Amino acid sequence: MAKVWLPLLLTAVLLLFSSAPRSAGGSPLHVAGRWSQPNTATFFKDRLKNSLSLTPSISSSSSSPSSLASGFTCDACKAFFEVVRELYDHGFMRDEIAKISVDVCTTLKIEDHTVCSGVISLFKDEVLTVFEKVGLGSDEACNIVVGDSCSKGYDPWHQKWSVPIPGDKPPVTHHSPEPGSPVTGVLHITDIHYDPLYTPGLTRDCGEPLCCRPPNAQGNSSTAAGYWGDYKCDVPYQTLLNLMEHLQKQGSMYEWVYWTGDMPAHSVWTTTRQGLLDMMTNITDLMSTSFGGKPVFPTYGNHEGVPVNSFPPPYITGNMSAEWLYSGSAERWAVWLDKFPEWPTINATIRKGGYYVVKVREHLKVISLQTNFCNTDNYWLLINSTDPAGQLQWLVEQLLQAERDGDKVHIIGHIAPGLHSCNPVWSSNYHLIVNRFESTIVGQFFGHTHHDSVEIHYDDKNVS
Ligand SMILES: *[C@@H]1O[C@H](CO)[C@@H](O)[C@H](O)[C@H]1NC(C)=O
Ligand SMILES: *[C@@H]1O[C@H](CO)[C@@H](O)[C@H](O)[C@H]1NC(C)=O
Ligand SMILES: *[C@@H]1O[C@H](CO)[C@@H](O)[C@H](O)[C@H]1NC(C)=O
Ligand SMILES: *[C@@H]1O[C@H](CO)[C@@H](O)[C@H](O)[C@H]1NC(C)=O
Ligand SMILES: *[C@@H]1O[C@H](CO)[C@@H](O)[C@H](O)[C@H]1NC(C)=O
């Protein structure tokens, strides 16, 4: 839901900072504080009107995020960022600029005030850090926001790296299991998007990205949220519980579980690190009770980031790093994963980059990938998108080992490589790996799209 407007909004904030004068070693902060006119909002709104006249669809009454995004043309985008640069040149402080961004966001009806100010204050630090390091101009930023039609040729993801893959692909032989071979079942659960605040009776039409929750008004006969849920809202507790009770009864159908991420609700303007870990505690408890000790193999969805999509690679250290998430989830997921002899390694690779390998049974391994390292909304990757945390290199090593040992492998992750939200260079490296290890990888399980679908990897040399 948040997909369309978020990048737009963020890039607006980003540009506020990237246009800062950059003197040797100094942060933009040292130029701040000189411009203290009281009329900042008026100044900005006048300039904004000029930009708006370029894009009738923005100033129309529609507040739908998608109509906004499609109406946000190249010219308007650049004009907008010119205004922003001027603000910066006037020496606005970071916090002032953030405040003005909230104004812009609200005035443009990108979202309402609560959502705008929540999102901007959550993203401020990430965006600042990234753009101080990267230094995009308005051409580059508009390429990211609007697409290739704006500033063709800019490559935000440095799409040139490749992971070395050893040759000697074994000949592919197809064989079906003998009739009567033992059969097992695997449960795949994904994108729960559980909303603890869901309240039946509240309106499903609240004008925010997520409704059916306080402080939304009561709905009427056609807008009231139902007891079990609503297509415009996330999942209430009773529905999650009912699902788990059902799965418990069906327990004989599966022996282990793949849980491919996105546990929280889409209320991305209110997330906190502690809130996310609390929810992880609750859902991990619920699943381990419901699945009666059957192992669950989890992976990270883009909504496990705080803020959403934020997964700093290991080159970000300190409080901005993902250490809080990795250590918090390793502790919680230990309820399943520490039963395996390779737990010390699992614990270590989760803490390094959110990925791990585990041998589920004789000749079958599960590799859980941190696909947020290909997420095009993960702005940390603008600093360096080259095989973050060395994950794909690690994947190649694991597959090589499995090939030598005659093991088969299932891969799980959240964002399927090849989707638009997965950085194309990461996707194509992944594709080459899958191709090379065609006889070792026997299953791949992803989530993210909220659709039941199948993706096909063609052999590059023989597409028949
Ligand atoms: C319900 O409320 C919405 C506004 O929230 C209104 O447009 C609609 O006409 C109302 N429907 C009924 C059946 O009262
Ligand atoms: C977790 O469970 C506790 C106790 O049942 C509850 O009070 C809390 O609201 C839950 N938190 C979330 C995020 O579901
Ligand atoms: C670390 O970051 C979190 C979230 O941004 C913040 O709540 C916390 O106060 C920070 N801690 C320190 C020591 O800076
Ligand atoms: C996991 O690794 C961390 C960091 O090395 C360590 O502090 C922790 O004790 C380990 N957890 C377990 C359960 O082994
Ligand atoms: C980006 O990361 C890769 C892999 O860690 C590293 O080899 C490369 O030097 C980095 N590039 C820059 C510009 O820092």
How far is residue 307's CA from residue 377's CA, in Å, rounded to a whole number? 11
pLDDT tens digit sequence for 82-141: 666 666 666 666 677 677 778 877 877 777 788 778 877 777 777 667 656 665 667 777
227 CA from centroid of ligand 2 (Å): 19
For ligand 1, atom 11: residue with the closest CA: 222
CB of 77 within 8 A of CB of 146?
yes
Q: What Å distances lie between residue 286 and 71, 115, 258, 433, CA to CA?
A: 44, 30, 15, 36
214 CA from centroid of ligand 3 (Å): 27
Q: Is the pLDDT of residue 51 over 80?
A: no
How far is residue 227's CA from residue 234's CA, in Å, rounded to a whole number? 12
How far is residue 384's CA from residue 391's CA, in Å, rounded to a whole number? 14
Residue 242 neighbours by CB distance under 10 Å: 12
- State residue 442's pLDDT score: 95
Q: What is the mean pLDDT of the chain?
A: 81
Q: What ligand is nearest to the CA atom of residue 286? A: 2
Check residues 140 and 251 and name the one with the higher pLDDT: 251
Q: Is the CB of 347 under 6 A from ligand 4?
A: yes
How far is residue 106's CA from residue 112's CA, in Å, rounded to a whole number? 6
Q: What ligand is nearest to the CA atom of residue 203? A: 1
Type of residue at 325: L
Q: Which CATH architecture has domain 245-445?
A: 4-Layer Sandwich (3.60)
Q: Which residue numbers belong to the known binding site for Zn(2+)?
A: 191, 193, 262, 302, 414, 448, 450
- State residue 99's pLDDT score: 79
312 CA from centroid of ligand 5 (Å): 14
Check residues 290 and 23 and name the one with the higher pLDDT: 290
Q: Supply the pTM of this predicted model.
A: 0.81
pLDDT tens digit sequence for 177-215: 899 998 999 999 999 999 999 999 999 999 888 999 999
- Per-position DSSP letters for 107-158, written without gaps between them: HTTSS-HHHHHHHHHHHHHHHHHHHHHH---HHHHHHHHH-TTSSTT--TT-
List where CATH 3.60.21.10 sits in the chain: 245-445
Q: Is the CB of 270 under 6 A from ligand 2?
A: no
- State residue 146's pLDDT score: 66
- State residue 114's pLDDT score: 82
For ligand 3, atom 1: residue with the closest CA: 319
Of all residues in the chain, the percent with pLDDT exceeding 90 is: 55
The edge-to-edge listing of strands for the beta sheet with 364-368 is 356-361, 364-368, 408-412, 441-445
- Which of 43-52, 84-93, 342-351 is predicted least confidently? 43-52
pLDDT tens digit sequence for 145-187: 666 677 666 676 666 899 999 988 999 988 888 999 989 999 9
Q: Is the pLDDT of residue 49 over 50?
A: no
- State residue 288's pLDDT score: 96
Best residue among 332, 347, 350, 356 to mutate for probing ligand 4, ranked by most atoms within 8 Å of CB:
347
Residue 329 class from Cβ within 10 Å (0-12 exposed, 13-18 middle, 19+ buried)?
A: buried
- State residue 126's pLDDT score: 76
How far is residue 79's CA from residue 55's CA, in Å, rounded to a whole number? 11
Q: What ligand is nearest to the CA atom of residue 202? A: 1
pLDDT tens digit sequence for 377-395: 898 888 888 999 999 999 9
As beta bridge partners, residue 203 has 224
pLDDT band at 237 (very low <50, low <70, confident <90, very high): very high
